[in-house]
Structure 1
Amino acid sequence: MKHISVLVPKGDVVVGSIEGPYKLFTHVNEFLQRDGKQPGFKIELVGQERETLLDNGIYKLNTHRTLRDSFKTDLIIIPAVHGDQRKVIRDNQDMIQWITGHYKRGAEVASLCVGAFILASTGLLEGKRCATHWLMANDFRRMFPEINLVAEKVITDEHGIYTSGGAYSFLNLILYLVEKYVGREMAVLCAKVFEIEVDRKSQSPFTIFSGQKDHEDVPVRKAQEFIEQNFQQKITVDQLASMLALSRRNLERRFKRATSNTTVEYIQRVKIEAAKMSLESSRENINEVMYKVGYTDSKAFRVTFKKITGLSPVQYRSKYSRLN
């Protein structure tokens, strides 16, 4: 039987990312016992104190154990904690050291959504891939530049360390772990009972691109603003460099450092975001949308659209149009 420790950190913890894993693994035990088998998991909540108040005191949560207790665990689950992630990390230093110690003694570790910030602060993710909520991707890259953030992924799995994408996509990671520990048949059963879309691998269709302007590079911000105001036109890197009196190489270097995108990637993402809005709200056909955002090559448009969103333009409209 695997021992699972669902952590209860200090701060504005997302209650669902504690209750969700606890409930799902508990139901796996019930399904196994219904079939005459032994339960697969012992699930416990572990906090800094026995009693924790969440959501400004709306919920009171009693943990099974505290960090001071001596016990062995097989899987540690780090839930999402909202707010200033630097403060979250400062407030949970004891928990961060506890996670590192148990990983070194053989435990696996899984972070849910922005729980990746706590996991990253342990140092265990260095040189590894990591997922988190796409909304926090730029903040994560700034705080942990040595970690390979794959913002489009729903799940990563490297050397006993797992991460998940944003919000309730953590349920896909829990299903993944159920399959890994108990088998595919049980994972599919849980997917059906909880009505979770199984095997979802990308959070790209949900991403809303709003640019990354939280930086101090004024010429780069001017380039971003120009792109966003003129995306319907053909914009080149040389044109931007000339406009800003920078060399192409200097602009490319500074743009990547400030925004985590190359200049061309940024232009593409602005165009595709505008195309997504049109597909959601208008009855224009795909070619009309394509021309409206500045593409003239239908193949290039479709390839770029799918690369960024994970869906074709037709699939995206079918999924998100308000006029269907």
Structure 2
Amino acid sequence: MKQLTILVPNGYHNLSSVVGSYEVFLKANAFYQSLGRKPVFKITLASTSKTVKLHDNLFAIRPHLQIAAITRTDLIIIPAVRPDFAKSIRQIHTLNHWLIEMHEKGAEIASICTGAFLLASTGLLESKSCSTHWMAADEFRHMFPGVNLGTDKLITDEDGIYTNGGAFSFLNLLLYLVEKYYDRQTAIYCSKIFQVDIDRQSQSPFTIFSTQKKHGDEVVKKAQVHIESKLGEKISMEDLSSKLNVSRRNFDRRFIKATGNTPVEYLQRAKIEAAKKALETSRKNVNEVMYDVGYSDVKAFREVFRKITGMSPLDYRNKYNKEAAI
């Protein structure tokens, strides 16, 4: 039987991803047994403390073992860590050496939501693909510039390291792992029991574009303010960089460093975020919204909208605006 270790770090704040992981793999084991097969995993909750208190001591978890007692495991699940990421990592840095040691011994590791911060602090994500909650993306890029963060992805899988997007999307990661370690039939069974859509690939429809201004580059901030105030107009990046007295090449370089987007990508995301809000809250049709955010080509608007959200403008409107859909 393989060993699954679900970490319960001190200072950790999200009860659902620990309990959810435990419940899903218990159910997968039980289903396997109902088919006359042996359970795949022995499931262990592990920490550096005998008791971990959560949510201002409202809840407490008593792990099965302390991590020092675990010398071998096949799969490790890292739950979300609390939003003060730098402080969280400092508090649980003792886990780093253990995670590295287990990975060197062949363990695969999966991080849930902001658990990617703990995983990245080990260095195991360096130059690898990674996802985390879209709200934490800016801070993650700042802290771990060597990691290839792609917050549109719901799940990443590279060299035995898995990450996922945010919040309750961790259930999709668990189904992905169940299919990998058990089989498709067991993953489908778990998806039906827990009523989770299987095979979801993107968190893009849920992303709210952040204006990303906590970077300290005043030239880029001025460019951002200009872009955001002219969403209904055509903006020439050549003209904008000239107004800001920087070369286009230097403008692009600084913009990417500050925001993680090229100026054109930033403009597209700002326009589409404005379009999303209009589709959610107004009775305007897709063409009216398209013109409001500065597009005149329906095909181009649909392509950019789908690229950023994973949905067509009409599907997005029907999903998030009940009044307009009716």
TM-score (norm 2): 0.97
Moved more, 103-112 or 234-243: 234-243
Distance 2:321 2:239 in 1: 35
Distance 1:263 1:83 in 2: 28
Match of 1:311 in 2: 311
Structure 2 SS opposite 1:68: helix
| 1:288-320 CA-partner distances (Å, limit 9, x unpaired) | 110011001111111100111011111111211
| 1:233-270 CA-partner distances (Å, limit 9, x unpaired) | 11110121122122211211111111111000011111
Residues 64-213 of structure 1 aligned to structure 2 (within 5 Å): 64-213=64-213
Match of 1:13 in 2: 13
Displacement after TM superposition at 1:4 (Å): 0.5
Moved more, 165-174 or 246-255: 246-255
Distance 1:5 1:224 in 2: 45
Whether the 8 Å CA contact 1:13–1:79 is kept in 2: the answer is: no
Distance 1:142 1:72 in 2: 33
Whether the 8 Å CA contact 1:12–1:83 is kept in 2: the answer is: no
Segments of 4+ moved more than 3 angstroms: none
Whichever residue aligns with residue 263 of structure 1, its letter is P
Match of 2:61 in 1: 61
Whether the 8 Å CA contact 2:71–2:102 is kept in 1: the answer is: no
Distance 2:127 2:253 in 1: 22
Whether the 8 Å CA contact 1:281–1:322 is kept in 2: the answer is: no
Match of 1:27 in 2: 27
Whether the 8 Å CA contact 1:22–1:43 is kept in 2: the answer is: yes
- Give the percent of matched residue pairs that are identical in Structure 1 and Structure 2: 53
Displacement after TM superposition at 1:11 (Å): 1.3
Distance 1:111 1:306 in 2: 27
Moved more, 26-35 or 123-132: 26-35
Displacement after TM superposition at 1:12 (Å): 3.5
Displacement after TM superposition at 1:107 (Å): 0.6
Displacement after TM superposition at 1:70 (Å): 4.0
Distance 2:70 2:169 in 1: 32
Whether the 8 Å CA contact 1:29–1:39 is kept in 2: the answer is: yes
Match of 1:244 in 2: 244
Displacement after TM superposition at 1:32 (Å): 1.8
Whether the 8 Å CA contact 2:204–2:309 is kept in 1: the answer is: yes
Distance 1:322 1:11 in 2: 40
Q: Which runs of 5+ in 2 are unaligned?
A: none
Structure 2 SS opposite 1:223: helix
Displacement after TM superposition at 1:13 (Å): 2.3
Distance 2:102 2:23 in 1: 23
Displacement after TM superposition at 1:21 (Å): 0.4
Distance 1:308 1:209 in 2: 10
| 1:87-121 CA-partner distances (Å, limit 9, x unpaired) | 11111111111111100011110000000000001
TM-score (norm 1): 0.98
Structure 1 SS opposite 2:198: coil
Displacement after TM superposition at 1:75 (Å): 0.4
Moved more, 155-164 or 70-79: 70-79
Whether the 8 Å CA contact 2:13–2:80 is kept in 1: the answer is: yes
Structure 2 SS opposite 1:28: helix
Displacement after TM superposition at 1:137 (Å): 0.8
Displacement after TM superposition at 1:31 (Å): 1.5
The CA RMSD measured in Å over matched residues stands at: 1.0
Structure 1 SS opposite 2:68: coil
Displacement after TM superposition at 1:29 (Å): 1.4
Whether the 8 Å CA contact 1:73–1:107 is kept in 2: the answer is: yes
